[in-house]
Amino acid sequence: MAMKKNKAFVLVLLGLIIIGCNNSYSNTNKDQLNLIPYPQSVERKPGICNLVQGFVIKGKSENKGYLERMLRDDFGLQRNKKGTGVYLHIDKRLSSNKEAYQLDITASSITITATAENGIFYGIQTLRQLIDDGILPCLKIKDQPAFGFRSYMLDEARYFQGAETVKMLLDEMARLKLNKFHWHLTNDSGWRIEIKKYPLLTEVGSKRDSSQINDNGKKWASELFDGKVHQGFYTQEEIKDIIKYAEERYITIIPEISMPGHASAAVASYPWLGTVAEHITIPTKFGVVSTVFNPADERVISFLHDVLKEVAELFPSNIIHIGGDEVKYDQWKTSKDVADYMAKYNLPTFSDVQVKFTNDISNYIDRELHKKMMGWNEILGKQVHDWSTAESAETDLSHNAIIHFWFGKAEVLQLAINRGYQVVNSHNVFTYLDYTYDLINLQKAYSFNPIPDGLTAGQKSQIIGLGCQMWGEWTPSNKEVEYQTFPRIAAYAEVGWTPNDLKDYSRFRNGLKKLMNNWIEKGYTIPPLRVAEIE
């Protein structure tokens, strides 16, 4: 009998040795962890934590249910009263940053401590990436993000993608600790949000007769069109469902309603909104067109206030994005209404007309809706486009505005900083996901530093974060969106979370392999790593 017990003991011991040797978290493995974004502080410790026999979650966190579902659905792990204890604690003394967390893993327990529920959730995402066949390394992680604003933008004005695609993106954003979903909902090519007071915006504005096709990479120069009706929009009830889905993942949705340019879908729905008294159809060709709202007409301003009021009531976000980019002044130049408006308010240039319009909208959003306005950097009144011959504005932009820098020379970003604005840096040459991998490869995306050299500490604090933008002209289905988004979204996630001096592309690339395998298992259409890194 004793001999049988000894044999059994030896077999168990051999099994444990084999597990230890084969598992990526063996005690002798001192390689970097496969974590994206990488934490600020990692202290490896001897040993492993085994969840194969089950787990029991303790603590009062609202994330307990999410954690249990994740362990069950992602890894097949089951709740067991005798299993490893997983403790979730809120400790407001930990940090002033609500997204900060601490993760402690020992051989017998896992503890996530955070200042707020946001941090608990992010600690769970780190835990999620550490699990390998139910095994985790013993360690201590102290972590918090480098930037508070870490966004992914989806443009659905060009092509309506639908709730399933949006929720998929929100899931992947959550995994990577991105916290802002910038939702581009209106533009020349389509109006995608129900506004109850103005039903024609979706009855008319959500449909176009045809769409320009990217003929052999010609993009905006292409003369090919598909001849197919494209349509789609979200009801307010559908938007509420998506907002709830995002909130459960600690993601704030920031809606964008374009003005005063990119207004064709609205003007096609209600012609009196335009500067020129004419009926138009929604453009089938992508690019910048001349249709603009009439800033001199009180009915137009009332319309925009009504729209913004419904948007503000729908979205909990304290920010509303108004676009403000690529405004062509051609129609304003020929308008008597606008000429009279300029004389009345002593506006020397058409750039000043746009800044005054933007200030009035900003004041309404601030005083009446109790939110902040955000816009692309053209709202500063500084002309940045080669096609524009307009003079820059003399009128100062409202200081309540948030500048979303996307285009122009470094002086434009510096101008915003010098004037004291909060800035989100989304410089197109680093962050535009519609650009090919030839233009922005994975390593270039990872190399982006939202804070330029030469700023003071105070100026650095004005840059509140970054965004990556999935513009939709050439992504008619979710497959194209996936191909352009993954894997570069992971690079931007680390840029936003991990301090620049702690970034390491080799480590990131190694960690990415596991993540890419997960995306492939889910059926996403993504490029091979060699394509994503193409020079």
CATH code of the domain containing 344: 3.20.20.80
Query: DSSP letter string over 457-503?
Result: HHHHHHEEEEEEEE--TT--SHHHHHHHHTTHHHHHHHHHHS-GGG-
Q: Which helix H or strand E contains 55, and what residues bound it?
A: strand 55-58
Q: Kindly report whether the global pTM for this prediction surpasses the value 0.75.
A: yes
Q: Mark whether 106 and 157 lie in a shared domain.
A: no
User: Could you tell me whether strands 135-143 and 101-105 are parallel, antiparallel, or unpaired per DSSP bridges?
Assistant: antiparallel
Average pLDDT for the chain: 94
Evaluate whether residue 512 is within a structural domain: no
pLDDT in the model for residue 22:
38
pLDDT in tens, 289-300: 999 999 999 999
Residue pLDDT, tens place only, 228-268? 999 999 999 999 999 999 999 999 999 999 999 999 999 99
Q: What is the rounded end-to-end Cα distance, in angstroms, of the chain?
A: 68
- From the number of C-beta atoms within 10 Å of its C-beta (0-12, 13-18, 19+), residue 130 rates as buried
Domain end point (choices 143, 177, 209): 143
Q: Is 298 exposed, middle or buried (0-12, 13-18, 19+ CB in 10 A)?
A: exposed
- Please indicate, yes or no, whether residues 239 and 96 belong to a single structural domain of this protein: no
Q: Is residue 86 part of a domain?
A: yes
Give the domain-ending residue among 143, 163, 188: 143
Same domain for 35 and 173: no
Residue located via tokens 């729209």: 307
Q: Is 285 exposed, middle or buried (0-12, 13-18, 19+ CB in 10 A)?
A: middle
The Cβ-side half-sphere exposure at 496, using a 13 Å CA radius, reads 27
> What does the pLDDT look like over 275-288, one tens digit per residue?
998 899 999 999 99
- For residue 277, the model assigns a pLDDT of 85
In a domain, 524, yes or no: no
Task: Using the predicted structure, report yes or no on whether residue 29 has a pLDDT greater than 90.
Answer: no
pLDDT, residue 109, reads: 98
Q: Tell how many helices (H) and how many strands (E) occur in the chain.
A: 19, 18
Q: Are residues 139 and 187 in the same domain?
A: no
* Among 369, 353, 252, residue whose Cα is nearest residue 306: 369
pLDDT tens by residue, 129-145? 999 999 999 999 999 99
Residue 31 is predicted with a pLDDT of 55
Rounded Cα distance, 110 and 131, in Å: 12
Which of 126, 143, 160 is the endpoint of a domain?
Answer: 143
Q: Check whether residue 289 and residue 269 sit in a common domain.
A: yes
Beta bridge partners of 102: 113, 142
pLDDT digit string, tens, across residues 161-211: 999 999 999 999 999 999 999 999 999 999 999 999 999 999 999 999 999
Same structural domain for residues 446 and 391?
yes
Q: Which H or E element spans position 181? A: strand 180-184
Residue 439 clears pLDDT 90, i.e. is over it: yes
As a whole number, mean pLDDT of residues 314-333 equals 98
Reply yes or no on whether the pLDDT at 1 is more than 50: no
For residues 365 and 312, give the distance between their C-alpha atoms in angstroms, rounded to a whole number: 9
pLDDT digits (tens, 9 = 90+) for 366-417: 999 999 999 999 999 999 999 999 999 999 999 999 999 999 999 999 999 9
C-beta neighbour count of 150 within 10 angstroms: 29
Q: Containing domain of residue 36, as a range?
A: 25-143
Is there a single domain that holds both residue 101 and residue 193?
Answer: no
At CA 452, angle to CA 447 and CA 456, rounded to 5? 140
Q: Does residue 92 form part of some domain?
A: yes
Distance CA 274, CA 7 (A): 87
- What's the total number of domains in the chain? 2
CATH of the domain at 107: 3.30.379.10
* Mean pLDDT value across residues 478-506: 98
The string of DSSP codes covering 358-376 is HHHHHHHHHHTS--EEEEE
**Structural domain includes residue 396:** yes
**134 and 154 inside one domain:** no
Give yes or no: residues 89 and 170 share one domain: no
Of residues 100, 232, 270, the one with CA closest to residue 156: 232
427-441 average pLDDT score: 98
| Res. 27: pLDDT tops 90 | no
Return the pLDDT at 9: 41
Residue 525 domain flag = no
Find where tokens 């003071």 sit: 456
Residue 105 lies in a domain: yes
44: β partners: 139
pLDDT tens, residue by residue, 335-362? 999 999 999 999 999 999 999 999 999 9
Do residue 67 and residue 162 come from a single domain? no
> CA-to-CA distance for 280 and 227, rounded, in angstroms?
18
* pLDDT tier for residue 535 given thresholds of 50, 70 and 90: low
Of the candidates 428, 460, 455, the one whose C-alpha atom is nearest the C-alpha of residue 444 is 428
In the predicted model, is pLDDT for residue 17 greater than 70? no
Q: Tokens representing 183?
A: 């939702």
Q: Per-residue pLDDT averaged across 417-432, rounded? A: 98
The answer to whether residue 218 is domain-embedded is no
Residues 246, 344: Cα–Cα separation, whole Å: 45
User: Is the pLDDT score of 121 beyond 60?
Assistant: yes
- Co-location of 50 and 167 in the same domain: no
Number of other CB atoms surrounding residue 92 within 10 Å = 10
Note whether 321 and 448 are same-domain residues.
Answer: yes
CB of 279 within 8 A of CB of 271? Answer: yes
